[in-house]
Amino acid sequence: MKEKTQSAAKTRSEKEREKTRKALRQKKIRVVLAVLFVYLLVMIAAAVIIDDRHIEITLLGPEEDIAEVGETYVDLGAEAYFVGNLFGKSVNPLEIKTESGVDVDVIGDYTVKYTAEGFGKKAESYRRVLVRDTKPPVITLNHEEGYLASWLVGYTEEGFSATDNYDGDLTAKVVRTEVDDTVYYSVADSSGNETAVERKIEYGVSEPQIRLEGGEEITVGAAFTFTDPGFEAVDKSGNDLTSYVKVTGEVIPYELGTYTLDYYIMNEQGETASARRIVNVVPQPRVETVIPNRKTIYLTFDDGPGPYTAQLLDVLARYGAKATFFVTGNGQYYDRDYTDMIGRAFREGHSIGVHTLTHDYAAVYASRDAFFRDFNAMEDIIYEQTGQYTRLFRFPGGSSNTVSRNYCSGIMSSLVNYMTNMGYVYFDWNVDSGDALGGAKNSYTVSNNVAEGCLENTVNVVLQHDTKDFSVAAVESILRWGRNNGYVFEALDESSYGAHHGTNN
């Protein structure tokens, strides 16, 4: 029993000692754990200090971004993480708060603010956003359907407009320049963005080319009038613009020399299409004078036709003789018009020459132009009667007259040159019948004067007037005398001897 009691006591004591030892072990463990915990805290604190754990915000995209004015701006965003020296970047990103003051409707510089917070830490980052106008304006060219420009009036602007995404309507600021067949348009907006476009002008009527008939240099014989060989103005599309051609310069067709004619079309813009012609006025070819190899009498009759011309033609016809008539328009001042005698004389083989229309010295010799007018008027009458113009003429009073001095000094010398250069052949006389100023009053005196005068020459140009009845009556006697003395009676032509006197004015 006692042994059981001692054994139980011993067991309790051992249990208490075991309990005490266990308590001591637990205490030691707690102390160790506490030390470890403190150590861990110290280590953690040291790690935190060494790691320098902080929030780092990274911008997605550039730090300075450009936004187009007027367009929606989409922020590129950012990312935020804890970052340390020892443990690097955290796995999970932090939430970012974004504050943007960007106004895309107004050009300017703006800032976007990014903020991230956690564990008592806070970080901020910024992005600069530049709102700019980088788009150039747009120029729109209008076109009228079917419209084609004309070189004559130039291009009529069909219209255009210019708009900008920021400045709006810039049409009024468009600079327009037209060069040749192209129109250039340009405009710049307030931001300096520029736009340039061009329009090729389509012409319905383009610049014509003036072509000169006969060439750019021609040579013409002296004449009363100059007739241009002709010209035409045609553009590349075949449009005929000849009616628009103007001609400057003058050709004095009876004055020998070199002249310049300019042909041009000027459009409303002052541009010209042009051509130039040189005209050389030279003497008409002259027929060489042929001296007959037999005795010849050229009967010439001035101032007609008149009441006695028909009688004269009858006599000439009976003898088969030919004569020359230097005619005037005086026939119309008789009781009736004898102009038809010009046509009869021509048809019967006689020569017709001009003596003037009026035979009025004051009118004929007033000036060069007065002489020309009178001369050409008579030429027209001759043409009406004969169907052709004549190259033969006789000056009123002859080339040696002095009465012309009363009206125009030097006119005879100049008229001789003008008329000769124009190819006309003038005739004076070397036998005067005296039926005008020579004092003859009857046919006997006239025929005697002619016979005596012809005896002095082989070739005779006889002056008579078929307006004198006694002079016409003397013709048959003259014809008989001439035949009996070996003369032939011929009509003058351009190659005949002129019996020129020489001018006295």
- pLDDT at residue 84, rounded to an integer: 85
- Cβ contacts of residue 60 below 8 Å, gap of 6+? 76, 77, 78, 79
Strand partners, 300: 324, 463
pLDDT tens sequence across 410-453: 999 999 999 999 999 999 999 999 998 888 999 999 999 999 99
**Higher per-residue pLDDT: 479 or 100:** 479
Strand partners, 351: 324
* Cα–Cα distance for residue pair 349/478, rounded to 1 Å: 19
- pLDDT at residue 8, rounded to an integer: 60
- pLDDT at residue 40, rounded to an integer: 67
* Cα–Cα distance for residue pair 402/32, rounded to 1 Å: 167
Q: How confident is the model at residue 140 (pLDDT cuts 50, 70, 90)?
A: very high
- Cβ contacts of residue 456 below 8 Å, gap of 6+? none
Cα angle: 343, vertex 347, 353; to 5 degrees: 60
Q: What is the DSSP string of 150-209?
A: ETTTBPPP--EEEEETTTEE-GGG-EEEEETTEEEEEEE-TT--EEEEEEEPPEEE---E
Is residue 95 within 8 A of residue 28, CB to CB? The reply is no
pLDDT tens sequence across 147-171: 999 999 989 999 999 999 999 999 9
Q: How confident is the model at residue 334 (pLDDT cuts 50, 70, 90)?
A: low
C-alpha 46, offset from chain centre:
96
Task: Average the pLDDT over 22-32 and give the result.
Answer: 76
- Cβ contacts of residue 51 below 8 Å, gap of 6+? 84, 85, 86, 87
pLDDT tens sequence across 346-384: 999 999 999 999 999 999 999 999 999 999 999 999 999
Burial class (CB in 10 A: 0-12, 13-18, 19+), 41: exposed
Domains, the chain: 54-132 (2.60.40.10), 138-205 (2.60.40), 209-282 (2.60.40.10), 296-489 (3.20.20.370)
* Cα–Cα distance for residue pair 306/342, rounded to 1 Å: 10
Which tokens hold the place of 481? 């005398």
* Cα–Cα distance for residue pair 321/454, rounded to 1 Å: 16
Is residue 76 within 8 A of residue 57, CB to CB? The reply is no
* Cα–Cα distance for residue pair 98/113, rounded to 1 Å: 6
Is residue 302 within 8 A of residue 394, CB to CB? The reply is yes
Is residue 327 within 8 A of residue 305, CB to CB? The reply is yes
Parallel, antiparallel, or unpaired: how do β-strands 182-188 and 175-179 relate?
antiparallel
* Cα–Cα distance for residue pair 493/390, rounded to 1 Å: 10
From residue 414, how far is each of 313, 367, 473, 495 by CA, in Å? 35, 10, 38, 22
pLDDT tens sequence across 457-485: 999 999 999 999 999 999 999 999 999 99
pLDDT at 7 over 80: no
Which tokens hold the place of 460? 């005779």
* Cα–Cα distance for residue pair 461/235, rounded to 1 Å: 60
pLDDT at 86 over 90: no
Cα angle: 375, vertex 376, 377; to 5 degrees: 95
Which is nearest to 245 in space by CA: 260, 261, 227? Answer: 261
* Model confidence, pTM: 0.69
Burial class (CB in 10 A: 0-12, 13-18, 19+), 454: buried
pLDDT tens sequence across 61-75: 899 999 999 889 898
DSSP tally for the chain: helices H, then strands E: 9, 29
Q: Pick the range with the lowest mean pLDDT from 36-45, 178-187, 190-199, 230-239.
A: 36-45
Is residue 301 within 8 A of residue 464, CB to CB? The reply is yes
Is residue 474 within 8 A of residue 315, CB to CB? The reply is no
Per-residue 3-state assignment (H helix, E strand, C coil) for 410-459? CHHHHHHHHHHHCCCEECCCCEECCCCCCCCCCHHHHHHHHHHHHCCCCE
From residue 491, how far is each of 16, 38, 200, 349, 479 by CA, in Å? 191, 163, 73, 8, 14
Q: How confident is the model at residue 53 (pLDDT cuts 50, 70, 90)?
A: confident
